[in-house]
Amino acid sequence: MSKAMWGGRFSKSTDEMINEFQASINFDKRMYHEDIAGSIAHATMLAKCGIITDEDRDKIVAGLKDILQKIEKGNFEFSVDLEDIHMNIEKRLTDAIGEAGGRLHTARSRNDQVALDTHMYVRREIVAVQKEIENLQRALVETAEKYSDVIMPGYTHLQRAQPILFSHHLLAYFGMLSRDFARFEGVYKRADIMPLGAGALAGTTFPIDREFVQKQLNFDSIYTNSLDAVSDRDYIMEFLAAASILMVHLSRLSEETILWCSREFHFVELDDAHCTGSSMMPQKKNPDVSELVRGKTGRVIGHLMAMLTTVKGLPLAYNKDLQEDKEGIFDAIDTVKFSLAVYAQLIRGMKVRKDVMKKAVTEDFSNATDLADYLVKKGMPFRKAHAVSGQAVHDCIEKGIYLEDMSLEDFQKLSPLFGADIKEAISPETCVKNRNSLGGTSYKQVELQLHAAKDLLAAEEKVSDKAADKQIQVK
């Protein structure tokens, strides 16, 4: 086994099992682009400050770009003996260009180097997540417009409550996703702080220029405390918290989708491409995408709990425990992006059974509130109107009919305030149309919500595009 690049103080090599146990290369190698971009900026700064020569800088930059090409072409062999992405790249660089490669790590520790890479990686992936959020939001808007006239039962306690527009229901999820997008904006702000230059924990004796590196890597600000810079994982915990809330929203949508496509509801038909069958039962069409997203929600929440638990007892500054921040956030990023992407496809491919939903709102008592409201508008106090409407429902249940089946004579036995317009007043279409308060389910309000959703989408795109433009691309 070759001696570790940090092994000058040690008289023997690390045990092979321990070496494998502490190595992170199998998962942190995905940060190779960030590591190379950060090293190029660092080398450029070192030369600018006269800490290394321009000749060494040029060799380092050329060598790093060559390594980048090899990695992207699949011609780079990663070694567990070198522990992580940082040492793998530095060792290959030194082998290729000699002593100049050994000067790259001047005025830098792996502590601030890994912090830099993780900040840059999370920053880039936040933009990718936001783009997937926008895509799902677009799918919801498109589907809401496609089925803008469909009325369905609205539920509380999973019991039919009042008629609503199906598009109104979808736009509720648009609102949740809008808050998710905004939460990730906040995470981006906390990830957009540069830690490089903090050294291992106390800064460096070399005359470095942190502001120069900040500008090279497009960071909004710089950590002003070196201890905080190398030990801060708030932005990772915050990412996992935002991701967990997002997944909870997708899980709620999954639960409803699973219910809606069941034979008991039969409100929607999912595209065959988003379902699977049974190895035994030929008739089965299982909503696997929705079930998997619902299941993966617990996985992402678990990563948040693991990270909170890891950090809760750590003294300043860096501790090896912090290596545990990578696998959880990498998996959460992959899970969230995949879940958003497949859900956008599922929503776009879903067929809505308008006739079944219409039947559902005509064969229930979800218009009972409108019956009471009718009486209130005629002058009856609401509490009395509520009792009259409840009695009407009771009488219908006794007779095996619905409110719309009652005769005018039956209504007037309950109250002389009922007139010939009562049937029209409690039709599902009227129930929906009359709920015209701001944010309500009326046709007019939902149309306004759709316009507002499109405007918000346009604003979100500007935010994510601006952030995307800030990401560093090594060429």
> Do 285 and 277 touch, CB atoms closer than 8 A?
yes
pLDDT in tens, 335-381: 999 999 999 999 999 999 999 999 999 999 999 999 999 999 999 99
Average model confidence (pLDDT) across the chain:
94
Kindly state the helix (H) or strand (E) to which residue 194 belongs, with its residue range.
strand 193-194
The predicted pLDDT at position 116 comes to 98
Structure tokens of 74? 């699949």
Terminal alpha carbon distance of the chain: 34
Q: Tell me which of 79, 278, 394, 451 is the catalytic residue.
A: 278
pTM of the model: 0.93
Q: Please identify which residue in the block is written with the tokens 């957009």.
A: 192
Q: What span, in angstroms and rounded, lies between the C-alpha atoms of 393 and 398? A: 9
Q: Looking at the predicted structure, is the pLDDT value of residue 169 above 50? A: yes
**Helix, strand, or coil here: 163?**
strand
Beta-strand pair 159-165/151-156: antiparallel
**Domains by residue range for the chain, with CATH:** 16-106 (1.10.275.10), 111-150+166-201+223-353+448-470 (1.20.200.10), 365-430 (1.10.40.30)
441: three-class secondary structure by DSSP:
coil
The single-letter code of the amino acid at 266 is H
Please say if the pLDDT value at position 409 is more than 80.
Answer: yes
The pLDDT, as a whole number, for residue 120 is 98
Phi-psi region of 336 (alpha: psi -120 to 50; beta: other; left: phi over 0): alpha
As to burial, measured by CB atoms within 10 angstroms (0-12 exposed, 13-18 middle, 19+ buried), residue 283 is exposed
pLDDT of residue 284: 78
Radius of gyration (Cα) for the chain, nearest Å? 30
Query: Active-site residue 279, yes or no?
Result: no
Instruction: Provide the percentage of residues in the chain whose pLDDT is more than 70.
Output: 95
Question: Which residues, in sequence order, are bridge partners of residue 162?
Answer: 154
pLDDT > 90? residue 8? no
CA distance 178 to 172: 10
Backbone angles phi, psi at 78, to 5 degrees: -85, 145
Are 185 and 207 in contact by the 8 Å Cβ rule? The answer is: no
278 in active site:
yes
The residue from 157, 279, 407, 437 that is catalytic is: 157
Whole-Å CA distances, 120 to 36, 182, 184, 210: 11, 19, 15, 16
Does residue 433 register a pLDDT over 80?
Answer: yes
The pLDDT tens digits of the residues spanning 261-302 come to 999 999 999 998 888 887 788 777 899 999 999 999 999 999
- pLDDT given at position 11: 54
Residue 137: the pLDDT is: 98
Confidence at 58, pLDDT banded by 50, 70, 90: very high
Among 198, 294, 194, CA closest to 249: 294
Output the pLDDT for position 1: 41
- Tens of pLDDT, residue by residue over 185-218, are 999 999 999 999 999 999 999 999 999 999 999 9
For 321, other C-beta atoms within 10 Å of its C-beta total: 12
Residue 183 has pLDDT above 60, yes or no: yes
